[in-house]
Structures are given as structure tokens and as C-alpha cells.
Structure 1
Amino acid sequence: MNSLVWLNTWYAHYWQTSWQLHSIVIYQNDNIIAIAPFYCQNEKKWHLPTLLYPLGQGEPESAEVASEYLDILISPGYKDIALKELALCLRLMKVDQIIWRAALSNSHICALITCAFKYNIQQNNTRYLVETKRWSIRELSRNTRSRHKRSLNQFQQYSAKCVWIKPENFKDYYQTLVSFHQIRWQEKGQLGAFFHPNFNAFHQQLLLNNSDSIKMSAILVDGKAIAINYYLSDATTLYFYQCGWDDGQYSKLSPGLALHIWSIDNCNHCYYDFMMGSNQDSYKSKFSNVKIDMVNLKINLNPIRLFAYKVLEKWKLALTK
């Protein structure tokens, strides 16, 4: 998720000419020891609050690809001196708010925010990770195991099978995934993740140019997919990103549960990563045997200006009614 390929693809589909790059680079003896990849939104718009984001986040919510685990880069052995210099630079920036979502609690950005502003960071989310060599279906709750057993028995009646999709077939399965996902969410009165053309274009570019970092698993019945999981991958980790299934004939057979369990059991990676979820009532907690604290950071550096903007927006909205 924190790769150059991901960030370049994000830049290609989301960067706006009105945004201003504010990356900080720290040198020692002509050697780079730290890079903080910041940029500003609304810097030249006096009527809007100036927002500081990391590269890879800040796109419109309706088109959000939800980059996670982004962080500042610091050379080993230079953390203390780098954080001190970065904190000084950050305090001098004329911004109203810093927004950095889906950061690991032990990340450099959390340490920097604490160092720069004495900010008390509250852990509010969790990374749900499966260490595949230590995982067993026996770790699931009795109810979940019973549900999975019923699912398998029912799928056997359809001669269903689970498979990893070959890269040459990604394009077709991606379109099926999009269709499954959108139908399900639009029936609930929501737009669905694949609604925005920029979101679709982002993932289609990844599929076209970086298929080696994509994985898909599926449940097939008579050669046709009835459930699909879409993953990003690196050398050690399979990152679960999105899913879709036929919400008609097969929805009561728990296809999502069945496909996750098969994919974990048949994963060649060290880790199967569900990524960030809420602390409470996340379905991801059913599977995870490693839980890591995560945070969404929103630092209000100019609360008066932010409050005034919020009041003005409410007033403008009231006038339109």
C-alpha cells in the first residue's frame, strides 16, 4: 500500500493543479535522512481552511481509494534528530488542519505529531492481520465454524470450487466484481465503492500495468464466479481490498466467509491483511490473530478559523433550503 507504484497511480488520477507540494527533506552531511511527503489543499484560497495531507490521501470521499499505512521515511539511526527537525518545520507551516488517516500507532507520523504539538493521540482503529502459519480454522468461534460448515455443505450441492484467478483473466473478473459490489450496495441505497470513474480508472491502471501486485480469488459454480475477493500483494503480505458476490441465489450461503477462509488457508504469503477496521464489532476480528493499533489523525491548529468556516457553510446551506 505504501509503494511508489500506488502513489504514482494516485497522483495520475487525483492530483489537482491547485494543490501545493510541501514535502520536507532533511539532510545531514549532504545525505538525505528523512522525507515527509506533505502537500496542501486550499493554500491559495483565502475563504477556505488550509489542509495539510500526506501524498496519497485527500481525494474526494466519493472517489476515495483509502490509502493505508502511509508514513514519513526516516533512515535507521536518525529518528531522534529527524523528528526534531521535522517538528520545527511543521510548526512553521501556516496550515489550519493536519489530516492523516489510517496510520499505525507506532509510525513516524504519530511520533512527529506528538513531538511537534505535544498531541495526545488516541488509538481509535485496529489493523486486523492474520499470520498464516499460525492460523487455523479452529481459532474461529463455534458459531462461525458452524456457519462455515453449513456453507460448505450447501456449496457442495452446487459443485462449487474456490480458485485463484490467473492474471490474464483479471480484467473480466474485475468487471464481475464491480457488478456484484455495486448491485449489492445500491440495493441498500448507497453509491458503492466503484461508483466514481476516478476510482475505477485507478484500479484499472493497476490491473493493466501492475498485475504482479494484484491477486484475486473466487468461488465458481459451473465455471462462473459467484464471489470474488480482490487483493493487493507484496513479497510478504496479501492485502484484502474489496469483494463482491452474487446477492441473489447464493447470498444466504455465506460466500464471503467461505472465500476468506479458503483464501487464508491457500495463501502463500506470510500475512493475510484485512487492514484497518473499527475497534468494535468489526467482522475482521473473527479471523485475525494479530491486532495492531491504528489511528486517524486530525489536528486542528487554527480552531477559530475552522469553526468560522463550519458556521459559514451551515449558513450557506440554510439559505439554499
Structure 2
Amino acid sequence: MLTLERILTREAFARLEPEWDALLVQSAADTITLTFDWLSTWWDVFGEDRELMILIARDSGGELIGIAPLLKRTVQHFGVLPFKRLEFIASGEDEADEICSEYLDFIIKQGREAEVLGAMLEHLISQDSEWDEMVLTDILEESPSISILRNACEDAAMSWRILKTQHCIFLPLPRTWDEFLKGLSRGYRHKITRDWRAASSLDTELVVVDKPDDFANGFDTLVRLHQSRWIEKGRPGVFSSEKFTRFHTRLAAKLLPKGRLRIFILNLNGEPLAALYDFIYGRKVFYYQSGLKIADTPIHSPGILIRSYAMEVAIEEKLTECDFMKGDPAGYKSGWQGKLRGILQVRLARAQSKEAIYNTTSKVIAGLRSIKRAVS
């Protein structure tokens, strides 16, 4: 028999910390963006104007076997139509502040997804006045949650729609560096070996920042390199957001002592040339952000060079996968010969009068956009 409980306060959320990650590693959704550290830090930075709506499930023995890491807020569709929305914690930020917490999901003990998520959805659907729509962002296309959600919508006569499909690029790591190089295209292999030779003949140094005492200087270097490059392109850069920067400085204080975060800095003649910001979790490395100095040097591709150094370190550490996270499958990340994972944004909504207005208005706007594209 399952017992469901709502977690509505930050204090109750905090009390789950000892059990949260223990359940996460037993789930099919095990990833760094669903750890207690990541989600609680996000809530502390972005929780204003939102309400916690976490739902947990325990079995007859009191063991935690399911977490729905949800929040509630009110959104205005088309500027005039208010909807009470449920969504994952760590999603729904303003675009300028967006953390990009990929692979969000329900956290459920493997083998019990249908039972536990089914019970959670039945409970949530029964709460008529609590919410109008559920928008779940960056959930894996292959997640067992997808079919359970779709079936629940059909049973409850609710609407189901995939709003967006994107891709994360990942690269399985072989056991040796030589195997890794052989798996690359000839062009990329040439770029790496060319810049490795150039770097070996220059005054270069690779600095690895993985201790709390070194973080402030390393992070400052990353931010300066990243911001200067994007500002030169006429764009603000992600660290122009105070909330984005605050999230990462707070998260680092939690992850560094656990060996889950590091920054690589490539120096040339004593000056930073490139920086790379990584997360490490579950034998995987996640390449999250970078910064490059625009300079005329014998190193043609400092971004590729520092990533190749980081991959060599990951292979030496016997990590099994490099995840480039979300990106254009045809963009610069594609040169690493990676594979693709689909991630979805899905919307569930109750059948009600304002949902009909939403659907009609959405169709009208889509039609107008098609006409505009046709005549432009």
C-alpha cells in the first residue's frame, strides 16, 4: 500500500535530504540535475513567486519510493488568460536566467514507475481546483514517465501535447585516449593533434580547479572569458544574469566537496586563454559552460584543445560518457561524433472552458505565423 504526502514548505523539503539522493540512485532518472543539491539550490534562488508542490510516495514500510519534484505558479497565456501551472522544480525561469537543467523527471524506484507515478497522477488529477495545466520540461524522450503520463491523460480525458523536442549530444568514452582519437573524424583528429603539438612548444599550463578554496578565482576567470567573448559579439552572456551566477556560486559550495564540479583553465604565457566548466556524476562528465579569449595565437582552436584535455582526464578517470547537454545537432558540438538523446517539453491540461480558449487562440496564432512566413 502506498502513502502519498505533499511537501509544501522549504523546511519539509530540507528534511528529505537524507533520503532524496538515496532514492535517486535507485531510479531510472539518476542524474545530477535531479540531486537534492541541484534542486534545493535552484529553489532557494528562483523560488520567489512560486509554491512548492512536491509529492512523495512511501511504501507500507515507510520507505521513500517516489518523488514528484513539482512546483506551482500562475502564468498568463497570451497576456490575458491565467493558468495555474504545475512544472518541475528547476524549470520555467525567464530566458535570461535559464539554468538549462536537462533530464528532469519524476524520481521513482526502478520497477515501480507505473504503480507509483500512476498513483501520483491520480491524486493530482483529483485536485480540480489546484491546477489547470502541467508543463514538464526537458524530460527524456525514452523516460518511462512519458507513456504513463500519456495514458493518464487519455483515461482522464485530458489534453496531451508535445510542445517541443530538442536533443542532447553525448559521447561514449572508450578505455584509452588512442581509441578515442580513432573514433573521431579525420578533420577533428587533425585539429586536436595540430593544437596539441602547438601547445607543447609554447608556454602553456592546464589548471584544474576542483577545491573549494580555489573556486572563486577559477570561476572569476571563467566568467571573464565567457562574458568578454559574448559581449564582443553584441550579446550579454549567461553570467550577466545575477540569478544565474548566484545559482552556480551556491551550487559549487555543495558540489566541490563531493568531487562533482571542476573548472579547467588553459593558460598561455601566464594568461588565461580558455576555460571549461564541468559537472561529474555517476561516471559521466557534463560539459556545461565555457569561455574563450579571442586572440591571435598558434593554437587555432583553444575551445577544442581544452575540451580534448578534459576528455583525456575523463578517460584516465575511467568515466564512461561525456554529455555535451542541449545543443544544435548540426552545430559545433557535432564535430565530436556524438550521439543524440531526445528531450521533450510536454503539456497536460484539464478539459475546461479556458483550455478551449487556449487551443483556439493557439491555432489562430499558428495560422497567422504561417501566413506571415508565406508572404515574407
**2:168 aligned partner:** 127
In structure 2, stretches of 5+ residues that fail to align are: 1-32, 155-159, 366-376
Whether 1:192 aligns to 2:224 is no
Whether 1:304 aligns to 2:357 is yes
Whether 1:175 aligns to 2:209 is no
CA distance in 2, matches of 1:169, 1:58: 32
**Aligned runs of 1:86-125 on 2, under 5 Å?**
86-93=120-127, 95-118=131-154, 119=160, 124-125=165-166
Deviation at 1:97, TM superposition (A): 3.4
CA distance in 2, matches of 1:309, 1:176: 44
After superposition, the Cα gap between the structure-2 partners of 1:298 and 1:182, relative to the gap in structure 1 and judged at 3 Å, is farther
CA distance in 2, matches of 1:128, 1:270: 14
Q: Deviations over 1:154-191 (max 9, x none)?
A: 43453323342342322112111111111111222221
Q: Is the 8 A contact 2:167 2:343 kept in 1?
A: yes
Higher mean alpha-carbon deviation, 94-103 vs 57-66, is at 94-103
CA distance in 2, matches of 1:141, 1:303: 51
Deviation at 1:300, TM superposition (A): 5.5
After superposition, the Cα gap between the structure-2 partners of 1:233 and 1:85, relative to the gap in structure 1 and judged at 3 Å, is same
TM-score by length of 2: 0.72
Q: Deviations over 1:269-310 (max 9, x none)?
A: 2322212233x3033233255543322324455252476699
Higher mean alpha-carbon deviation, 242-251 vs 118-127, is at 118-127
Deviation at 1:133, TM superposition (A): 2.5
CA distance in 2, matches of 1:61, 1:245: 23
Deviation at 1:205, TM superposition (A): 1.4
SS at match of 1:53: strand
Name the amino acid aligned to 1:210: L
After superposition, the Cα gap between the structure-2 partners of 1:105 and 1:122, relative to the gap in structure 1 and judged at 3 Å, is farther
Whether 1:137 aligns to 2:181 is yes
Deviation at 1:253, TM superposition (A): 1.5
Q: Is the 8 A contact 1:132 1:265 kept in 2?
A: no
Whether 1:258 aligns to 2:294 is no
Name the amino acid aligned to 1:227: A
Deviation at 1:219, TM superposition (A): 1.4
**1:294 aligned partner:** 343
CA distance in 2, matches of 1:290, 1:297: 23
Whether 1:11 aligns to 2:11 is no
Deviation at 1:144, TM superposition (A): 1.6
CA distance in 2, matches of 1:252, 1:159: 12
SS at match of 2:83: coil
Deviation at 1:53, TM superposition (A): 0.9
After superposition, the Cα gap between the structure-2 partners of 1:44 and 1:138, relative to the gap in structure 1 and judged at 3 Å, is closer
CA distance in 2, matches of 1:41, 1:306: 20
**1:38 aligned partner:** 70
Whether 1:247 aligns to 2:294 is yes
**1:146 aligned partner:** 190
Higher mean alpha-carbon deviation, 207-216 vs 168-177, is at 207-216
Q: Is the 8 A contact 2:117 2:145 kept in 1?
A: no
- The number of equivalent residue pairs is 310
After superposition, the Cα gap between the structure-2 partners of 1:193 and 1:305, relative to the gap in structure 1 and judged at 3 Å, is same
Name the amino acid aligned to 2:216: K
After superposition, the Cα gap between the structure-2 partners of 1:30 and 1:209, relative to the gap in structure 1 and judged at 3 Å, is closer
Task: With a CA cutoff of 8 Å and minimum separation of 6, indicate the structure with the bigger relative contact order.
Answer: 1
**2:8 aligned partner:** none
Higher mean alpha-carbon deviation, 250-259 vs 185-194, is at 250-259
